[in-house]
Chain A
């Protein structure tokens, strides 16, 4: 499991000072650490598209933030993504839980979105990578570099057990 406090420090070291989002249990530890953090200000959003709006506004104020959401939220952010973040070429890092994979069968509400999560990201032209414990810094570095170089929205998919039990 990746240490969430380390992840926060790492992102802060790369210039992130705010996060917004809607929780998913896959990020439980991360939210506990964000509560405690004086490096990253967490703004709880009511919806995922609102979190994208807050992050884009923060960027237009000259500062960098990231968004945390469940993959179900990918269905909510379509317009915020295409007619705001991507249209204005705003660099944005999304941490998206990858629910609906086996053995997530106890939660049927995630299975259909789980099946199409990567297809949705491809359809939106959002580059993505899956986060693994072994080389997480490399993955995040690549994502941040891509985000900054191309002024684009980049997604990191987080499976069960990677950031929380």
Chain B
């Protein structure tokens, strides 16, 4: 499965109540295209989806917050994982869509291939649900996702996805519209 196929497959498991932060480039377009709107679609601030998700989870402790990040974004903001491990808001979930590349900018390799994600997460004191290889075992996705969402603690799901990407349309909303529509959720 490619990243956008994974995102699209999760559609039915995501309730309207869930708050999503999506990293810049393709991932935010995938979330915009396939998941309930409005969510936080990052145009820039590469590396910051984890910190933005942490802030959001602290502000809205009764809502579940899911961060969708590419591996390039994840690696750039790696130290935010330590901060998340230090705070562990029970409503925060992180999904790493690991395609091993900066797909948005042409598929250049990231340094992900030499990284042991699970050991990293363990070292940061963060619960994880293993690595799911969505290329080899796509049928395991919905169960893994269900487990991720039903727990009562900060948790991470690392998903290995294909690096061949479908070009999705640019997000038509202006950044200010994204902000206003998202803030409207809270009345």
Contacts and interface: CB of A to CB of B under 8 A. Distances in A.
Interface in B111-150: none
B21 interface: yes
Contact of B45 (A41, A47, A55, A80): A80
Contacts of A123: none
Interface in B39-86: 40, 42-48, 50-60, 77, 79-80, 82-83, 86
B33 to A, nearest CB: 20
Contact of B79 (A20, A47, A61, A65): A47
Interface in A18-45: 18, 20, 41, 43-45
A90 B44 contact: no
Contacts of B176: 88-89
A61 B178 contact: no
Nearest to A86: B175
Given A45-B51, A88-B175, A58 B56 contact: yes
Contact of B179 (A51, A82, A88): A88
A90 B59 contact: no
A65 B80 CA distance: 18
Given A18-B58, A43-B58, A60 B179 contact: yes
Interface residues of A, number: 33
B44 A61 contact: no
Interface size class of B (residues with CB under 8 A): 35 or more
A90 B179 contact: yes
B102 interface: no
Interface in A132-155: none
Nearest to B42: A84
A50 B79 contact: yes
A43 B56 contact: no
A63 B44 CA distance: 22
Contacts of B13: none
26 contacts: A18-B55, A18-B58, A20-B55, A43-B54, A44-B83, A45-B83, A46-B79, A49-B45, A50-B77, A50-B80, A51-B51, A53-B54, A54-B58, A56-B48, A56-B52, A57-B55, A61-B55, A61-B56, A62-B60, A62-B183, A84-B48, A87-B44, A88-B175, A89-B176, A89-B179, A90-B179
Given A49-B45, A82-B44, 8 more contacts: A41-B58, A53-B50, A53-B55, A55-B55, A57-B57, A60-B55, A87-B43, A89-B176
The 6 closest A-B pairs by CB, nearest first: A83-B44, A61-B59, A57-B55, A53-B51, A57-B52, A53-B48
Interface of A: 18, 20, 41, 43-47, 49-63, 65, 79-80, 82-84, 87-90
